[in-house]
Every structure is written in C-alpha cells, then in structure tokens.
C-alpha cells in the first residue's frame, strides 16, 4: 500500500465509522492495513447508495469496474484494485463481495423491511459477509466464521435501532415493521402509542443482545492482540444499546455514539482484562 493509498483509505474509514476506526488502530500494523483496504471498499459502495440524492450511476460504475477487475482488468480506482488484490491474496470467495454489492444495490430501490426474514436477508450481504472478510483477514479457523457473521449481524442491528430517524430521512426502515403496531416508525406516528413503541424498541434490543451474546462465544478463536479491537468495538455497540434501552425516544433526538475518550478507555480496560479470558494465543 502506497502512502497516498494509505491516506485515502484512512480518510474514507475515519469518516465512515469512528467506533470501528478507533478500535481498528489497535490491530497489528500489517493486519490494520488489510482492514483499512476492506473498509475503504465497502464504505465507498455504501456511500453511493446512502448519499442524498443517491449516486446510482456512480454505484453501478463502481460495481461494473469491480466485476471487470476481478476478471483481470484493473480499474484504475485504488479502492477497487486494492480490494481485488487483497481478495486474491487471502482467497476471499467471490460470492462474499457479490452478496455485499447486492445488498447495497437493494438500497437503491427497497425502502421497507416488513419481516425479520427480510431484514436478515439484507444483513447477510451488508454485515455478515463483512464478518467473514474479517475472519479471513485474521486467519481464524473455519469454526469461528459463524460467530464472526453473527457479530456482524448484531452490530448492524443495533445500528438499525440507533439510526431509525436517519434512515427515515432517506425513506428507509430496516427494522421488521410487522413486529410493531405502526404503519411506519415516524416519531409522530409512534407518539400516538408510546408504550407500544418502547416495547417494540426493547424487543429489538433484546434480539440484538441475544445475537451479541452468542457471537461472543467466538472470541475464544481470536488471538489476544486481535481480540482487543474486536471486543472494544462490540463493547461500544453494547454501550449504545444500553443508552437507547434507557430512553428509546433518544433515537429521534440524536445519533447515539460513544465519544472517543470512552472508546480509548474501553481499549485500556480490555487490554488488562482479556488475558484472563479463554482465548487462543
């Protein structure tokens, strides 16, 4: 990775997710660079479909350039070409990236997810395969992959809860709407039955916690130095869930995110505590 590519990937990653970015700084250097190459690719694609207005043509040009690059025709785009190189180096199955791009493409047209089954199908491409990529980058055994996918799903789900208002602003609802008594999750709609809304959010948080608890069983496969950033990111999402559980209506007031000092404090705590956990070394 050239210095200019490093600066580019760092900038993309840092703007996209402060929690992931600050946690990832504590990966070993060579692994950290691979993580940055991965996240630059997924973040750029995600930005195209999340922008207002959506950059449909740019997304499809990005997708086509990637499809050509994996067949041997470099795109000239450092984000794409670096990811393709990483894919070849680590032998990522091609279907993972295709599933991710399919999920991003869905954001160009699908706006509402009625059932948990629909939401989970979307999360496979948008989050679970990211867990697979990360497991490959860390060189984890096959037994760890289901837990890595579940961790990605859990993190994505708490994002859906946290970002209700933000997603509504672009016309999307990812949480399973059929589990609520509401036709939509707009604040004015939910204020008509506040108890039902609070129960609905608590149910979604309970689901996240169940997935997160199960995913943590995979920590035993992650070497200590790699576990610190992974556990720190997961702990910060758990902190976010706790804040929302205390006051579900906060999702309409602000985007709940841990401050940098809290992330760094959690890294310090995990650095001291993780050696006492069951892990592989």
> How many CB atoms lie under 10 A from the CB of residue 3?
7
Q: Are residues 47 and 128 in the same domain?
A: no
Is residue 28 scored above 90 in pLDDT? Answer: no
- Encode 207-228 in three state secondary structure: HHHHHHHHHHHHHHHCCHHHHH
Whether 136 and 256 share a structural domain: yes
The number of residues making up the chain comes to 281
Same domain, 172 and 61: no
Section 232-256 average pLDDT:
96
CATH code of the domain in which 137 resides: 1.10.600.10
Provide the pLDDT for residue 42: 95
- pLDDT tens digit string along 200-214? 999 999 999 999 999
Give the pLDDT score at 26.
Answer: 78
Per the listing, tokens 């933000």 go with 166
Whether the pLDDT of residue 280 is over 50: the answer is no
- What DSSP state is assigned to residue 112? B
Residue 230 CA to residue 224 CA, distance in Å, equals 10
145 and 75, same domain (yes or no): no
What CA–CA distance (Å, rounded) separates 11 from 280? 32
Give 245-278 pLDDT, tens digit per residue.
Answer: 999 999 999 999 998 899 889 988 988 886 554 4
pLDDT of residue 277: 47
Query: Number of structural domains, the chain?
Result: 2
pLDDT of the residue at 278: 45
The band of 279, judged by pLDDT with boundaries at 50, 70 and 90, is very low
Residue predicted with more confidence, 95 or 20 = 95
Q: Is residue 104 located within the same domain as residue 126?
A: no
Predicted pLDDT at 275? 57
Share of the chain above pLDDT 90, in %: 79
Give the pLDDT confidence of 88-120 residue by residue, as tens digits.
999 999 999 999 999 999 999 999 999 999 999
Q: Is residue 22 located within the same domain as residue 55?
A: yes
Range of the domain at 43: 1-92+99-109
Q: Of the candidates 82, 109, 136, which is a domain's last residue? A: 109
- 148-190 pLDDT tens trace: 999 999 999 999 999 999 999 999 999 999 999 999 999 999 9
Sign of CA dihedral 42, 98, 34, 3: negative
Q: Could you give the CA distance from residue 137 to residue 92 in angstroms, rounded to a whole number?
A: 9
Is the distance from CB of 63 to CB of 100 less than 8 angstroms? no
Q: What is the mean pLDDT of the chain?
A: 92
Please check whether residues 163 and 259 belong to one and the same domain. Answer: yes
């Amino acid at each position: 990775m050239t210095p200019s590519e490093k600066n580019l990937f760092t900038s993309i990653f840092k703007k996209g997710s402060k929690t992931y970015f600050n946690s990832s700084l504590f990966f070993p250097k060579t692994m950290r660079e691979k993580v940055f190459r991965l996240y630059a690719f997924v973040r750029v694609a995600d930005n195209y479909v999340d922008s207002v207005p959506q950059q449909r043509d740019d997304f499809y040009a990005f997708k086509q350039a990637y499809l050509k690059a994996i067949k041997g025709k470099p795109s000239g785009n450092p984000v794409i070409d670096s990811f393709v190189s990483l894919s070849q180096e680590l032998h990522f199955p091609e279907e993972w990236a295709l599933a991710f791009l399919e999920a991003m493409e869905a954001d160009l047209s699908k706006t509402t997810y009625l059932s948990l089954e629909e939401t989970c199908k979307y999360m496979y491409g948008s989050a679970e395969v990211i867990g697979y990529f990360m497991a490959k980058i860390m060189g984890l055994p096959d037994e760890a992959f289901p837990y890595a996918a579940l961790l990605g799903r859990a993190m994505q789900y708490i994002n859906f809860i946290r970002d209700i208002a933000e997603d509504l602003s672009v016309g999307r609802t990812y949480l399973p709407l059929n589990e609520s008594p509401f036709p939509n999750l707009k604040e004015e709609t939910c204020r008509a039955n506040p108890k039902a809304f609070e129960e609905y959010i608590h149910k979604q948080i309970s689901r996240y916690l169940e997935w997160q608890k199960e995913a943590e069983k995979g920590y035993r496969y992650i070497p200590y130095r790699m576990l610190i950033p992974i556990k720190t990111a997961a702990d910060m999402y758990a902190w976010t869930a706790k804040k929302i559980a205390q006051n579900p209506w906060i999702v309409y007031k602000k985007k709940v995110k841990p401050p940098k000092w809290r992330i760094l404090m959690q890294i310090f705590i995990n650095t001291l505590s993780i050696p006492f956990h069951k892990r592989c070394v």
